[in-house]
Amino acid sequence: MDNTTLSKHQTFYAVGLSYKKADAEIRGKFSLDSKAKTNLLQQAKADGIESLIVTSTCNRTEMYGYAEHPFQLIKLLCENSDGTVEDFQKVAYVYKNQEAISHMFRVGTGLDSQILGDFEIISQIKSSFIEAKSIGLANAFMERLINSVIQASKRIKTETGISSGATSVSFASVQFILRNVDDLKNKNILLFGTGKIGRNTCENLVKHTKNEHITLINRTKGKAEKIAGKFNLVVKDYADLQLEIQKADVLVVATGAHNPTVDAAILKLKKPLLILDLSIPKNVNEDVRNISGVTLVHLDELSQMTDETLEKRRSHLPAAEAIIEEVKEEFKTWVKARKFAPTIHALKAKLNTIKTSELNFQRKKISNFDEEQAEIISSRIIQKITTHFANHLKDDNTMVDQSIEWIEKIFQIEAATNE
């Protein structure tokens, strides 16, 4: 059975938490690596959940899917992360049906991002859907919804200026460094970690600082060498981390580790150090703040940077929202049509049964019975009757569920569900 029709037993939910109410520490608890995501999806499949996608980024962890009750989804999240139900309830949101659909549109188009117009999330949603589909957790409703959100995202990107100007977490971090570090081109910058934000920060640092003293360290040296080659940077071994930190004026931490990788114990400083922690969960222990000369800035603080670029972006919000409404309406029309299509098919079949029986009866009764004419006329009448019913069901003011029930009762039909 396909719950494209938001069936009586299962509801479409969006369940999650984001930077809006959950700080970096809480987001870290609920963050899911790729293994945890796969486990969660497999568990959902085993639990009989029919369609579900899961996304987890540094700003949010979310689930979109069908359930009889949102707690089914919350339980899956808590069982596969370090978060508890109590933690979740303090910061979470649960949307259902139309609200859940609207939420996915806003998230997927960058309108709900920590930095407005950041389109990174749409690629996450795409890959989450591909994984869900491979596990057998993507029904027609979900596929159509994801494709609609992708379409809205593309249109907003090309038809509005909401992503114009360089604004992202990596850009914000470089701007922060430029504003707060004097004589930057002669300072030593150490980048620890080469995740996506780390790579982007690296690119922005090279572009904007004209600094030739950037060193790169990653647990896997090969990855660091790949990036360093692109930007002509120095790569050091992970074992040299402590030594390189002593030489650094600026340390950018962008690792994907689940526990802090930098703490007071490894900082044997000879000069002031600015540390930017761009990781979720946090990868720099708060105890570094106790060391004289250390300034620690976290991703959440950087994201609150508002500048002219963001103001310009906000002016494009109405145009972006209009595109979302348009694509969302097309999606709703599809859902509605798909919902009543089986009833219209069943009604047509019922009327054709009546027609066949009546023609058979009249054929025996009437001499010179013109079968061809009778077939044409009755088929046209059936077509017009079903069109009237379809138009009624398409109407925005129609209570579709009630009308379907009423049609099925009157004509004594049972519509097959969409597969």
User: What pLDDT score does 229 carry?
Assistant: 65
State how far the Cα of 152 lies from the Cα of 329, in Å rounded to an integer.
11
95: its two tokens: 């949307």
Three-class secondary structure of residue 98 per DSSP = helix
User: What pLDDT score does 217 carry?
Assistant: 83
State how far the Cα of 73 lies from the Cα of 14, in Å rounded to an integer.
9
User: What pLDDT score does 99 carry?
Assistant: 94
Q: Which residue has 């568990």 as its token pair? A: 43
State how far the Cα of 92 lies from the Cα of 62, in Å rounded to an integer.
10
User: What pLDDT score does 5 carry?
Assistant: 40
Helical (H) or strand (E) element with 403: helix 400-410
CA quadruple 254, 258, 262, 264: dihedral positive or negative?
positive
pLDDT average, residue stretch 259-275: 80
Q: Render pLDDT for 20-31 as a digit per residue (tens, 0 to 9).
A: 999 888 999 999
DSSP strands (E only) in 32-87: 52-56, 60-67
User: What pLDDT score does 312 carry?
Assistant: 76
User: What pLDDT score does 8 carry?
Assistant: 44
Long-range contacts of 285-291 (CB under 8 A, 24+ apart): 285/260, 287/263, 288/262, 288/263, 288/264, 290/264, 291/264, 291/267
State how far the Cα of 172 lies from the Cα of 185, in Å rounded to an integer.
18
Taking residue 105's Cβ as centre, other Cβ atoms within 10 Å add up to: 23
Strand partners of residue 357: none
Highest mean pLDDT among 96-110, 214-228, 294-308: 96-110
pLDDT average, residue stretch 367-395: 86
Q: Render pLDDT for 154-180 as a digit per residue (tens, 0 to 9).
A: 999 888 877 765 556 777 787 788 878
Q: Render pLDDT for 167-216 as a digit per residue (tens, 0 to 9).
A: 567 777 877 888 788 877 778 888 888 767 777 777 777 777 766 678 88
Q: Render pLDDT for 321-344 as a digit per residue (tens, 0 to 9).
A: 999 999 999 998 888 877 777 787
User: What pLDDT score does 165 carry?
Assistant: 54
User: What pLDDT score does 232 carry?
Assistant: 67
Question: Which of 32, 49, 58, 122 does the annotation list as catalytic?
Answer: 58
Which letter does DSSP use for residue 295 in this model? E
Q: Is 58 a catalytic residue?
A: yes
Q: Does the pLDDT of residue 406 top 80, yes or no?
A: yes
Among candidates 115, 146, 112, which has minimal Cα distance to 129? 146
pTM: 0.64
Vertex 170 angle, CA 165 and 173, to 5°: 100
% of the chain at pLDDT higher than 90: 30
Strand partners of residue 200: none
Q: Does the pLDDT of residue 3 top 50, yes or no?
A: no
Single-letter code of the amino acid located at 216: L
- Please give the residue that has the higher pLDDT: either 212 or 251: 251
User: What pLDDT score does 309 carry?
Assistant: 65
| 364 burial type by CB count under 10 A (0-12 exposed, 13-18 middle, 19+ buried) | exposed
Per-residue burial over 136-175, b if 16 or more Cβ lie within 10 Å, else e, is ebbbbbbebbbebbbbbbebbbeebebbeeebbbbbbbbb
Q: Tell me the pLDDT of the chain averaged across its residues.
A: 83
Parallel, antiparallel or unpaired: strands 52-56 and 60-67: antiparallel
